[in-house]
Amino acid sequence: MEDKIVGRNRKAQYRYQLLSRLEAGIVLQGSEVKSLRQGRVGFEDAYAVIRDGEVFLRSLHIPPYDKARYGGHNPVAERKLLLKRSEIRKLSSKVTEKGMTLIPTMVYFKGGWAKVELALASGKRKYDKRRAIMEREQKRELARFRKQRRRWTGR
């Protein structure tokens, strides 16, 4: 069965230096699953915390499902993530380092189950962000130049 990507955290690559990634299951209510299946999710300021040997996802915005009964769900509720105990131990030792955090980079369905891709990340400084913008603009200019050159030479 093919993975169905619900949403990606596009700003994560810009704001953070992503070091390693891992997949985690996510505990959801029925109306949250329905909303995700419609492709609705917001990553603004979302992050994961480790508390009492469990991992929780905070500030991931899943909008309410239109047809949900009894009020549906809280859009920014704290959601539990499903990871192996050994993975949680490794993550907690890395997250305690200065400047390290867990960021959700993608939400998707894999075999019918909702999954979250987490990345161990460290925040970028302002000059790192400027460098990333400059490199992106240089690549864009180079591609534009090559395209114009192909037109001129007839290739």
- pLDDT value, residue 8: 93
pLDDT tens per residue across span 69-107: 777 788 888 999 999 999 999 999 898 877 789 999 999
Residue ranges, the chain, pLDDT below 70: 1-2, 154-155
**Claim: this prediction has a pTM higher than 0.75:** yes
Beta strands in the chain (DSSP E): 4-8, 16-26, 47-51, 54-58, 79-82, 100-110, 113-123
Nearest to 59 by CA among 72, 73, 74, 45: 45
CATH topology (fold) of 4-123? Small Protein B; Chain: A; (2.40.280)
In whole angstroms, how large is the CA radius of gyration of the chain? 19
